[in-house]
Structure formats: structure tokens, C-alpha cells
Amino acid sequence: MYIIKKTFALLFVMALLVTGFILSTERKVLAADNIALGAQGQEVEQLQAALNSKDYWCGEANGLFGPRTYNALIRFQKDHKLTVNGQIDEALKKALDMLPPLSNSSESQESATVPPTAVADKSKAKSSPTVSRGGGRVITMVATGYTDAPEENWPYAGAPSYIGLPLARGIVAVDPRVIPMGSKLYVEGYGEAIAADQGGAIKGNRIDLFFDSKAEAHNWGMRSVKVTVY
């Protein structure tokens, strides 16, 4: 009788261990299928790029699934009548037209079939940070200047731009309803820029240009300029 009880207890413990292992495996599979807040990687970067392209701004596409990405994702799911779960699932991928990441073998095959001259041209194009001025939409806007002075950026003094880029010359504030965040620009009299910031007074055809000093911003004043959006 003692041996039977001991055997039964041993089988019961083994059954508990097997059940725990199965549940743990299922949780890992679910976590891999539905990426959520706190995750990081290439698929998160694709999500951020896709959300930004559809004007659901979540900052720089850096592959880190943080609060800004989560909030943008929730807004997109609500607006498109999807299940609001804050996760990257198949329905979300379909709605955002997210493509699966390329495998290393595909990249190797592509580099093997592309002529060396084409590869060189592609590398040269990637290394060039400048904006092409060959075309684009031209808007006439009223331009003013600002700096990183605390009184000009209250209550966000010391913070980076709206999309997370550090404040520096070339960063400009726009109304995202007129120019999408992240757009590359050429501002007449100022030069190349990126639409990376917003401001309470910057509405409609207004643009605020970042300058390194108050003197430069003061000398710029307020003027009408042509802005090319690429």
C-alpha cells in the first residue's frame, strides 16, 4: 500500500512539471507571435516606420517598443476598428502593409546577382545625407526663428524635438496637418531641414526654424519663404 501511494505521488509531481512546461512554452509562442510594449527588434522598427508614414507619429524608428510607440499603435487600432490590444498581430500587419523582414540568405543572393557597379552606386546613395532638389511640393510659408532657450520652449525646455531628434540647425517646427513629421525640406534662405518639431503657435502655413543663437533668430525675423517638401 505504501509503494502504491509513493508511486501515485511521484506521478502527480511529474504531471505538474509537464503541465508547467507546456504552459511556459505556450506563453513564449504567444509572446513571439504578438510583440508588445517593452519589445525591441527589426519588426518593431518596421512598425514605427509604418505608423510614421501614416501620420501616427511615434518618434524615431529605433526598434524600441516604448510608450510613444504604444500610444501611436493604440490610436491606429482604434481608428481602423482593429482589436485594441497594443500588440503587433496579423490584423495590424495587414492594415499597415508591413512586409516580413528579409532573411540573410535573400540579402546574400541579391548581392551576388547585382553587378558590382550597381552595388557601388547603391552604397554611394546611402552615404549621402543631403536632400535632392530635383522635385517636390513647394509651399509658400511664413517663417520665424527659435532657439533652445528655456523661455522659448516652455514647458519642454531641455527636451529634444517632437520626433526625438536633438535641437540643432536644420530642425524646424511645422503643423503636421500641412507637412508630415519627418519630411525632408528645403527652406529658401535657410537651407536643408527636417520637419521634426511642433509648436503651439505654429499652425497652418507657418514654419519655425531653429537657430544656434538668439541673434541669428532675431536677424531672421519674420519673412515669407518658399518651402520645398520632398
pLDDT tens for 48-67 read 888 888 888 877 788 888 77
Rounded CA-CA distance 228/141 in Å is 10
Q: Which residue has the higher pLDDT, 223 or 23?
A: 223
pLDDT in tens, 115-153: 554 444 444 433 333 444 557 899 999 999 999 998 887
Q: What confidence tens digit (pLDDT) does each residue in 76-86 have? A: 888 889 888 88
201-230 mean pLDDT: 95
Residues 137-229, CATH architecture: Beta Barrel (2.40)
Which grid coordinates belong to 160?
A: 529634444
**What percentage of the chain exceeds 90 in pLDDT?**
34
Q: CB neighbours (10 Å) of residue 175?
A: 16
Structure confidence at residue 19 (pLDDT): 60
Confidence tier at 1 by pLDDT (50, 70, 90):
low
User: Does position 193 have pLDDT exceeding 90, yes or no?
Assistant: yes
Cell of 28: 513564449
Q: Which of 8-17, 89-98, 122-131, 181-190 has the lowest mean pLDDT?
A: 122-131
Q: In this predicted structure, what is the pLDDT of residue 110?
A: 47
Domain ranges of the chain: 42-96, 137-229
pLDDT attached to residue 69:
84
Percentage of the chain modeled with pLDDT above 70? 69
Checking if the pLDDT of 28 tops 60, the result is no
Q: Report residue 152: phi and psi, to 5°.
A: -90, -10
Across the chain, what does the average pLDDT equal?
77
Q: What is the pLDDT of residue 118?
A: 45
